[in-house]
Amino acid sequence: MQLSLIVAMTRDGVIGLGGELPWRLPADLKRFKALTMGHHLIMGRKTWDSLGRPLPGRISIVLKRLASPYDYDFYDEETGLPRPLYQGQGFPKAGEPADWMPVAFVHDLDSALRLSEFDDSPFVIGGGEIYAQTLPRVERMYVTWVEAELAGDTRFPDWNPANWELVAEERHSADAKNEYDYTFATYHRR
Ligand SMILES: NC(=O)c1ccc[n+]([C@@H]2O[C@H](COP(=O)([O-])OP(=O)(O)OC[C@H]3O[C@@H](n4cnc5c(N)ncnc54)[C@H](OP(=O)(O)O)[C@@H]3O)[C@@H](O)[C@H]2O)c1
């Protein structure tokens, strides 16, 4: 398992405003879907709230501090395996029908990582609090640089580019659908 992280941010680290994304970039959402399909997504409760639904074809693992009776978990606590409803289906693979959307609520980061340990590339998908706690364990970062100066109330944590090798970079211009220029970049930890 190699932990990956995926984020869209401005060059000065803005990732969110008022619980939402401060831009409209469908091309970024498309790349997010393509990269994460079939994998585990590790996210904070506020990001879960902003998504408002599980993402099809992926396994959502939501971090929240307090348990509540409304939490549900598709893993059997005793065996650690998916519950019978999901047994036999196996883990979704990239490109498979997008109707598989299990969710697990967990209360600490180690549990989130344990649930995704058999995934070759689980993705940390935010937000700010979760990026900050997971960054030391992340091996690959998929960044969409939003080429605009925008106000925000949530930021990506400080990171040292010297520790990361830029292995791919693709620049795109704003168009009728995407309101700002953006750059897709992939970094591997050195
Ligand atoms: N640009 C991007 O790529 C991107 C990606 C994702 C999100 N965002 C944006 O980021 C913002 C949300 O980020 P955020 O930093 O405010 O919140 P967040 O990281 O999404 O969620 C924070 C919550 O996660 C839970 N949590 C944090 N650490 C935990 C731990 N160690 N164990 C258990 N639970 C833990 C807590 O939930 P409880 O309060 O329930 O205990 C905490 O309030 C939104 O604006 C969203 O749109 C942007």
Q: Tens digit of pLDDT per residue, the chain (190 long)?
A: 999 999 999 999 999 999 999 999 999 999 999 999 989 999 999 999 899 878 888 888 999 998 776 665 655 666 665 554 333 344 444 444 444 567 888 889 998 998 888 889 999 999 999 999 999 999 999 999 999 999 999 999 999 999 999 999 999 999 999 999 999 999 999 9
Domain extent, residue 116, equals: 4-189
To the question of pTM greater than 0.85 for the whole model, the response is yes
Q: At 94, which CATH number?
A: 3.40.430.10
Ligand 1 binding pocket includes 44 (Cβ within 6 Å): yes
Ligand 1 binding pocket includes 73 (Cβ within 6 Å): no
Domain count, the chain: 1
Q: Count of CB atoms within 10 A of residue 152's CB?
A: 19
Residue with the smallest CA separation from ligand 1 atom 39 is 64
Ligand 1 mean position to 69 CA, how many Å?
21
For every residue of the chain, which 3-state class applies, written as one string?
CCCEEEEEEECCCEEEECCECCCCCHHHHHHHHHHHCCCEEEEEHHHHHHHCCCCCCCEEEEECCCCCCCCCECECCCCCCECCCCCCCCCCCCCCCCCCCCEEEECCHHHHHHHCCCCCCCEEEECHHHHHHHHHHCCEEEEEEECCCCCCCEECCCCCHHHEEEEEEEEECCCCCCCCCEEEEEEEEC
Residue with the smallest CA separation from ligand 1 atom 22 is 44
- Using most ligand atoms within 8 A of CB, pick from 9, 20, 64, 135 the residue to mutate for ligand 1: 64
| Cβ–Cβ < 8 Å for 150, 23 | yes
